[in-house]
Structure 1
Amino acid sequence: MARDAGGQTVKRADARRNIEAILDAAASRLSRDPEATIAQIAQEAGVGRITLYGHFASRAELVDAVVARTIAEGDAALDEVDLTGDAREALVRLIGSSWLLIVQIGALMTVAAATLPPERMLELHAGPVSRVESLIDRGRAEGAFRTDVPSSWLAGTLHRLMHGASVEIDAGRLAPHDAAATIAATALAAFTAPGETVPSVDQASQW
């Protein structure tokens, strides 16, 4: 319980509010301007540079924190997606729930890739990648997905398809409302074993 304006509990609450404001501002500003400076982020957060540096010692540390929070929030949202049943149907559901999220944080991931070491990027993405690879492994075991290339390659292919959709939307070559079905159709074609019939998105959604 807070004792007074200078009490320890109040200070901790203020610190938490400042941290959340800084992370919110960093996510927003860096998504719009990957070159945004600490001073610009602090201004958007409504705090001084000294306050910001009191919580994050460097721009790289701030980028790491905001990317980790963003990925964790997205991963938690995807925990709600039903991945049971036919693996192809589950893949279509996962794409429908995750593609827009990945597109929305694409600019932030570009900043992260330019700022953080590759091993840290792999660590941050371990949770989402594990979800996709687990689904792919199950699909391979059930005979729904191809087994002649590694699961990690198929997971990477899906990730690149989603980012590619963002590029196509920005270029005006793909309508946003068509993106999920387009990604799913391409992924099903890439994941289906050679010689097997590639299901349509509608077919996969009915299994």
Structure 2
Amino acid sequence: MRADAVRNLDAVLQTGARLLHQDPATSIATIAAEAGVDRRTVYRRFVDRETLVAAIYRAKLEACQEVVDQARLNEAPVPIALHRYAEGIIDVSRRWPIDLSRLQQDEQSALRLHELIGCLDAFMERATREGVIRPGLPDRWARSQLIHLTNLAAHEMPELTPAQGADLIVQSLLEGIGT
């Protein structure tokens, strides 16, 4: 794919994610105009709105997978891997603000999301085994907290840089918020 075509595709997907986050009924024409491309360009690549939306979800999932891979959740020391993950996911969530829990009936994307969540669960189990997270918490508690905290830092506190948000997330998860 030519470099300009790659830039246009990325612009359409990221613009689509942002606009669909703001208004789930956003049209392809609106997305194309906001992305600075002709709507025929979008229709050449995506036969309908559902295909475009599925591509946006897949792009976010790919970005999330890159963060998981770069965080090295299986081998890096837990606090370092946690910080890398949080910082990366804050950035991804801001670039791709669509909610993955609203994935449409795309079986491949749903499976990929399930695998990513499984990676986080395994990481939290490792953190518990290594004594970084206290044992005895309900299943999925730590992972759910991580997801909620990254969403909080990404979307409700835009004044925080991804690194600042990650610092707060790691501190909150590992030390709590008490004095």
Q: Does the TM-score normalized on the shorter chain lie above 0.5?
A: yes
What's 1:108 paired with? 98
What's 2:8 paired with? 21
Q: Which structure has the bigger radius of gyration?
A: 1
Pairing 1:42–2:42 present: no
What's 1:98 paired with? 89
**Is the CA contact 2:86–2:165 (under 8 Å) kept in the aligned structure 1?**
no
What's 2:168 paired with? 182
CA distance in 1, matches of 2:42, 2:160: 40
What's 2:56 paired with? 66
Aligned-pair distance for 1:103? Answer: 3.3
In structure 1, runs of 5+ residues without a counterpart are 1-12, 191-197, 199-207
TM-score, length of structure 2 as denominator length: 0.70
Distance 1:118 1:143, change over 3 A: farther
The counterpart of 2:146, out of the listed 158, 177, 185, is: 158
TM-score, length of structure 1 as denominator length: 0.63
What's 1:79 paired with? 69
Distance 1:188 1:104, change over 3 A: farther
**Deviation per residue, 1:84-112 (Å, 9 max, x gap):** 2542343233323433323332x2337x8
Pairing 1:125–2:148 present: no
Give the paired residue count: 171
CA distance in 2, matches of 1:104, 1:189: 29
In structure 2, runs of 5+ residues without a counterpart are none
CA distance in 1, matches of 2:106, 2:131: 33
Pairing 1:135–2:126 present: no
CA distance in 2, matches of 1:150, 1:119: 28
What's 1:88 paired with? 79
The counterpart of 1:149, out of the listed 115, 120, 137, is: 137
Distance 1:94 1:52, change over 3 A: closer
CA distance in 1, matches of 2:164, 2:144: 21
- Overall identity of the aligned pairs, in %: 18
**Is the CA contact 1:22–1:41 (under 8 Å) kept in the aligned structure 2?**
no
**Is the CA contact 2:71–2:85 (under 8 Å) kept in the aligned structure 1?**
yes
Shifted more, 52-61 versus 129-138: the winner is 52-61
